[in-house]
Amino acid sequence: MTGLIERLQELKKEFDGASATLKNGMALKISQPFDNQAVTIAKLYETSFSEHILVKRGILSDPNKLEKQLNEESKMWITAMIDDVLVGCSALEAYEWNNSVELQRAVTHRYFRKLGIEREMCRVRLDIAEKIGATYVFSYARGPSYGAQKSLIDLGFKVSGIMPVFYVNHDGREVRENFVYMDKLINGGREELESDDNMIEEALCLKESIDKNSPDRYD
């Protein structure tokens, strides 16, 4: 039995991309980044996700640094194109230790938002996670990013937590924003939790509130 990352590598070799029709009728093509596309992708992050701390620090906006990430074995990147225009980019990362996949780094061109591009990128990445045999998929959606959260909910994800540890840059200041932790069990994955008996009262109240509002979270 091969590992999750090895299976991801095999899928990357065979991935033919995907297509979809957006809300405005335009045709969307999703594929892996082509050679030398790091410069265009970095520019997309810089112009359409400038507040992201990884953009401000050059991790996503420096083509050389981004190129290294595009080639990491545990990650798979996809791009969204309309004709010859790059309108979106996102990634997934596979983790062997718990057979999980994280959906991350989603960005949509600021002039092409609210058309369903992020949802399509989420759908394709979820399909990839299922094909490589992951049993758990999760994502950290920024609190202000309603579209990202709605896309995940539409695909069967549930809210598992809210944490104020997402760093962004506003007017030259690094500040914290809430992010919403969302997850989904796939391929027969099962939730096995230890007892909550040792949680402090405040934490237990928050967990009970989440469970109450998402009673079928892992059904």
Q: H/E element holding 173?
A: strand 173-185
How does residue 134 score in pLDDT terms, banded at 50, 70 and 90? very high
Residue 20 pLDDT greater than 70, yes or no: yes
Which pLDDT belongs to residue 194?
63
Structure confidence at residue 162 (pLDDT): 86
Q: Using one digit for the tens of pLDDT, what is the confidence trace for 86-131?
A: 999 999 999 999 999 999 999 999 999 999 999 999 999 999 999 9
Q: How many CB atoms lie within 10 A of CB 91?
A: 19
CA–CA distance, 88 with 113 (Å, rounded to integer): 9
- With tokens 């979106």, the residue in question is 88
Q: For all residues of the chain together, what is the average pLDDT? A: 91
* Domains of the chain and CATH, by start: 4-213 (3.40.630.30)
pLDDT beyond 60 at 174:
yes
Residue 167 in this model has a pLDDT that exceeds 80: no
